[in-house]
Amino acid sequence: MTVRLRATTLVAGSAAAETLVLSEPLSFWGGLDSASGRIIDQWHPQKNAVMSGRILVMRAGRGSSSGSSVLAEALRRGTGPAGIVLLARDAIVTVGAMVAAELYGKSCPVVLASEADWMAITGAGSLAIDTQDEAAIEI
């Protein structure tokens, strides 16, 4: 059975993939190796996890403003996430995905989920994001 949850579109697109749920926010700047898609922040609980081709699920980003360029570079290289689900708006993450779409033609939809749906989203092994008609997350 598929459950369709409402979301808010931050960057349009569609993606379906296995999830990578982060228990802590991640700064892409210094936290992600854009060449491999691997989390390299040595203090992050998901250190060494690879986000390439997965739906990244995290409450929020953790700054630095240069993180946008790291995310865009990972998407250009094909090592970035297939999509991103956030609980809190994050301009840095959003800008990185927007830049990758504009400069490189690489799609990485970014959506904002609701607190009420967060447990179901973080518990899902895979997700689909679709922003065509009305932004939605399918579990």
The one catalytic residue in 64, 65, 66, 69 is 64
Distance CA 73, CA 34 (A): 6
14 is catalytic: no
- Active-site positions read 64
